[in-house]
Amino acid sequence: MIQKILLADSGTGNSEEMLKQLLEIPTLKQASISILHVVPGQISPEQLTQKWEEGGKLLATAVQSLKLDPTKVSTILRQGDPKTVVCQVAEEINTDLIIMGSRGLKRLQSILQNSVSQYVFQLSAKPMLLVRDDIYVKRLNRIMVAIDKSEAAQEALKQAIALARDISGGQLLLSHVTSGPAASNPEEDPILQAAAKTARQQGIEVKLFTASSNKAGEAICAIAADANADLLILGSPDRRPTIAKGLPDLDRLLGGSISDYVRVYADCPVLLTRTAA
């Protein structure tokens, strides 16, 4: 399902390490990789020359550090506003996944501090893997997915199964958070039953979790922490505003979005799949 990966590399954070761990999964070893670094646009000619040279060295170092097959990797050095350039390049190469670092800023902070990852998350239609700067990236073994009846959750489940079935000794953690009473035995939860059956038919070891909470984001993060998840996958509808797709959707940014909460507070990398809103 993932054949093209775009790594937006700022030279800081844990995004390179995240890519290393993904490429340990056999089906992803054949993916083509594009590594993007963006040089700031509003700088003097002298600074531009310096930043351009630094960017070239950063890309070369990343390719060497990641030990990538030269036939499977391309480097992209662009000048401009990082948040818009990442979106543009993602569309140009039609990537299947964007990997980005994240400072883990809360919603209002993201707006005020001009967060690149928040902007891309808000306006790109591409799946994103957000890696907070302050978390430790582990070998991928326990893949957690939050599911319900929505199309977005089912897309997340498909991606989780595609990854987990190719990990030797891997485990799929299926979680269902409901605002009503939760099944005392997760094996009796109808939504989890269907998902577990699909995963087990493909030889995947499955563990089930249920929770009752009016704060789904908090409950999902708590389950991920208790289960020691290495990666959390969450369905996230295409968030681009239907009227003005060039502007952030402030109502949803400041609202109670589960994916907004999870991307900030989860103690592991978060992969946000996409479906049409």
Q: Are residues 24 and 132 in the same domain?
A: yes
Helices then strands, counting H and E runs in the chain, come out as 10, 10
Neighbours of 200 (CB within 10 A): 12
Supply the pLDDT for residue 239: 55
Q: Are residues 163 and 133 in the same domain?
A: no
Q: Which residue among 137, 160, 182 closes a domain?
A: 137
CA-based nearest residue to 179, from 224, 237, 219, 222: 219
Backbone torsions φ then ψ of 31, nearest 5 degrees:
-70, 145
Supply the pLDDT for residue 78: 93
Distance between CA atoms of 174 and 229, rounded to whole angstroms? 11
Range of 159's domain? 142-237+263-273
Q: Are residues 193 and 79 in the same domain?
A: no
Q: Are residues 24 and 124 in the same domain?
A: yes
Distance between CA atoms of 162 and 226, rounded to whole angstroms? 23
The verdict on residue 257 lying in a domain is no
| Under 8 Å between Cβ of 124 and 117 | no
Supply the pLDDT for residue 242: 45
Q: Are residues 115 and 179 in the same domain?
A: no
Supply the pLDDT for residue 108: 39
Supply the pLDDT for residue 116: 81
- pTM score, whole prediction: 0.88
Q: Are residues 47 and 129 in the same domain?
A: yes
Supply the pLDDT for residue 109: 42
The verdict on residue 251 lying in a domain is no
The verdict on residue 250 lying in a domain is no
Q: Are residues 70 and 188 in the same domain?
A: no
Distance between CA atoms of 190 and 107, rounded to whole angstroms? 34
CA atoms within 13 A on the CB side of 55: 22
Angle at CA 118, nearest 5°, toward 24 and 42?
Answer: 105
Supply the pLDDT for residue 244: 42
The verdict on residue 176 lying in a domain is yes
Q: Where does the chain show beta strands of DSSP type E?
A: 4-8, 32-39, 73-79, 97-102, 128-132, 142-146, 171-178, 205-212, 231-237, 270-275
Q: Are residues 78 and 200 in the same domain?
A: no
| Under 8 Å between Cβ of 153 and 178 | no
Q: Are residues 129 and 151 in the same domain?
A: no
Q: Which residue among 113, 137, 161 closes a domain?
A: 137
Q: Which residue among 110, 137, 164 closes a domain?
A: 137
Q: Which residue ranges of the chain lie beneath pLDDT 50?
A: 104-114, 241-255
Q: Are residues 154 and 210 in the same domain?
A: yes
Q: Which residues contact 190 (CB under 8 A, 6 or more apart)?
A: none
What is the number of structural domains in the chain?
Answer: 2
Q: Are residues 164 and 268 in the same domain?
A: yes
Q: Are residues 150 and 57 in the same domain?
A: no
The CATH number assigned to the domain holding 172 equals: 3.40.50.620
Supply the pLDDT for residue 103: 61
The verdict on residue 242 lying in a domain is no
